[in-house]
Amino acid sequence: IMAARRLLVDIHTHVYLPRYANVLRARRTVPRIVERTNANGSREERLVIFENEPISGRPVGPQYWDLNEKLKFMNNHGIDVSFISSANPWLDFLAPNDAHSLANELNADLDSACRTAPKVADNSSLQRFYAFGLLPLCDDIAPDLLLESVQQIASLSNLKGIIMGSRGIGRGLDDERLEPVWAALAEAHLVVFLHPHYGVGSTAFGEKDNGHVLPLALGFPFETTTAITRLILAGVLDRHPSLRILLAHSGGVLPQLSSRLASCIDHDPVVAGRLQHDARYYMGRLFYDAVAYGPEELGFVSDIISRADTYASSADVGARVGAADRSLGSKQILFGTDHPFFPPLQATDKWRSVVDNLEAIAGVQGWSEDDKEGVRSGNALRIFSLIT
Ligand code: 5CU
């Protein structure tokens, strides 16, 4: 237990653990790691994780699986603590039994990596690593196996939540079969880190080769937006009031579209009848990473969180005027890097993606220094119960 100030805590940072990388190396279809020989005869590993991605994929190396490299990156960027999570596409592509046993092993690997990593300081109880575990989410797995994994993760003290994609067990996050899983996660106080992989809208991306730009800049955030919206519309947040969900990439476009969503629901009595609150209320039930790259975006997300409570019931409508208090909203936003993705193209001391996100936090109008410290560290330490 220690003071929350002047630390930097990264809650969005990934790893392909060695055990998982070996699974990808053994595969002959996507997702996979392939080895190729370059023109100069050198051998290189390439990661291919997206359907329709050229087999050349992208270069990968120890940054992706060696946690000593993660520590070097953290030291270089002044990051004290990282909440590491497996990177996409997790276990989505496996058969249920394989997913279940691999989830078990990877969760144990993660816990042990956190336990054996250094402390933040000699006199600190805080570790450099905590982690989000994995549920064996794959098509049509028996929910009981998911519940077993929730129990395993809850029993591993360095795992503070789970990372999850948008597919659930094949039918998305509004699938009734997931109901006991939400209940178990809420009961175990595990945070669900919701993260995209598949993208949404690729049929509108056209013929031009824009590399990974459209899938990552638009497809990823639209996927997160669709997934969390379906979960909200299915009443999951109403039925599980203590379920905590952290949205990747600052919630995609959900904050921007929340009033439009509310209006569309208002005009659809069937959907409206399923929900206890105006859609804007649920914006305050969520947590958001600060991986937005701009101060205006972070400020806007905090406004949307701040005003959420004024939509708790229609009787509160009058309270809405002037209700946006950025400071309040900042308490649900947490710094992240997305390491090892978005590496610099040329050798450089600091990664541009990290610097951009730190500058964005520093530059939000209306956030006090305390609010900014909160986003950089205090919020994470509070939400993950590492400070009292
Ligand atoms: O660059 C990418 O492909 C990615 C990815 O796959 N996952 C992620 O979290 N960020 C970027």
CA-nearest residue for atom 6, ligand 1, is 88
Q: How far apart are CA 296 and CA 174, in angstroms?
A: 31
Q: Compute, in angstroms, the gap from residue 28 CA to the centroid of ligand 1.
A: 21
User: Is residue 53 within 6 Å of ligand 1 at its C-beta?
Assistant: no
CA angle 265-267-269, nearest 5°?
Answer: 75
The gap between the terminal CA atoms of the chain, to the nearest Å, is 7
Instruction: Provide the pLDDT for residue 49.
Output: 97
Q: Compute, in angstroms, the gap from residue 267 CA to the centroid of ligand 1.
A: 36
Residue type, 378: G
Q: Name the DSSP letter for residue 59.
A: E
User: Is residue 226 within 6 Å of ligand 1 at its C-beta?
Assistant: no
CA angle 81-87-92, nearest 5°?
Answer: 140
- As for the ipTM of the complex, it is 0.94
Q: Name the DSSP letter for residue 119.
A: B
Q: Compute, in angstroms, the gap from residue 70 CA to the centroid of ligand 1.
A: 16
User: Is residue 341 within 6 Å of ligand 1 at its C-beta?
Assistant: yes
User: Is residue 205 within 6 Å of ligand 1 at its C-beta?
Assistant: no
Q: Compute, in angstroms, the gap from residue 356 CA to the centroid of ligand 1.
A: 17
Instruction: Provide the pLDDT for residue 321.
Output: 55
Q: Which residue out of 50, 92, 289, 341 has the highest number of ligand 1 atoms within 8 Å of its CB and is therefore the one to mutate?
A: 341
Q: Compute, in angstroms, the gap from residue 32 CA to the centroid of ligand 1.
A: 14
Query: Is residue 298 within a helix (H) or strand (E), and if so which, with residue range?
Result: helix 295-307
Q: Compute, in angstroms, the gap from residue 266 CA to the centroid of ligand 1.
A: 35
Give pLDDT tens digits for 176-222.
Answer: 999 999 999 999 999 999 999 999 999 999 999 999 999 999 999 99
In Å, how far are 85, 159, 278, 354 from 301, measured between CA atoms? 24, 27, 17, 19
Q: Kindly tell me the sign of the dihedral angle through the C-alpha atoms of 329, 331, 333, 337.
A: positive
CA-nearest residue for atom 2, ligand 1, is 341
Q: How far apart are CA 321 and CA 97, in angstroms?
A: 53
Residue type, 7: L
Q: How far apart are CA 109 and CA 111, in angstroms?
A: 6
Who's near 154: CB < 8 A, 6+ residues apart? 188, 190
Give pLDDT tens digits for 25-65.
Answer: 999 999 999 999 888 999 999 999 999 888 889 999 999 99
Residue closest to 220 by CA, chosen among 240, 241, 205: 205
Instruction: Provide the pLDDT for residue 4.
Output: 45
Q: Are 221 and 196 in contact (CB under 8 A)?
A: yes
User: Is residue 216 within 6 Å of ligand 1 at its C-beta?
Assistant: yes
Atom of ligand 1 nearest to the CA of 12: 9
List, edge to edge, every strand of the sheet that includes 286-289: 9-15, 81-86, 129-134, 159-164, 191-194, 245-247, 286-289, 333-334
Q: What pTM value is reported for the model?
A: 0.96
Instruction: Provide the pLDDT for residue 38.
Output: 86
Instruction: Provide the pLDDT for residue 6.
Output: 87
Q: pLDDT in tens for each of the 388 residues of the chain?
A: 444 448 999 999 999 999 999 999 999 999 999 999 888 999 999 999 999 888 889 999 999 999 999 999 999 999 999 999 999 999 999 999 999 999 999 999 999 999 999 999 988 999 999 999 999 999 999 999 999 999 999 999 999 999 999 999 999 999 999 999 999 999 999 999 999 999 999 999 999 999 999 999 999 999 999 999 999 999 999 999 999 999 999 999 999 999 999 999 999 999 999 999 999 999 999 999 999 999 999 999 999 999 999 998 866 665 665 556 899 999 999 999 999 999 999 989 999 999 999 999 999 999 999 999 999 999 999 999 998 5
Instruction: Provide the pLDDT for residue 223.
Output: 98
Instruction: Provide the pLDDT for residue 319.
Output: 60
Atom of ligand 1 nearest to the CA of 248: 9
Q: Compute, in angstroms, the gap from residue 341 CA to the centroid of ligand 1.
A: 6
SS (H, E, C) 318-365: HHHCCCCCHHHHHCCEECCCCECCCCCCCCCCCCHHHHHHHHHHHCCC
Phi, psi of 175 (to 5 degrees): -80, 125
Q: Are 353 and 342 in contact (CB under 8 A)?
A: yes
Q: Which residue out of 216, 223, 354 has the highest number of ligand 1 atoms within 8 Å of its CB and is therefore the one to mutate?
A: 216
How long, in residues, is the chain? Answer: 388
User: Is residue 88 within 6 Å of ligand 1 at its C-beta?
Assistant: yes
CA-nearest residue for atom 11, ligand 1, is 341
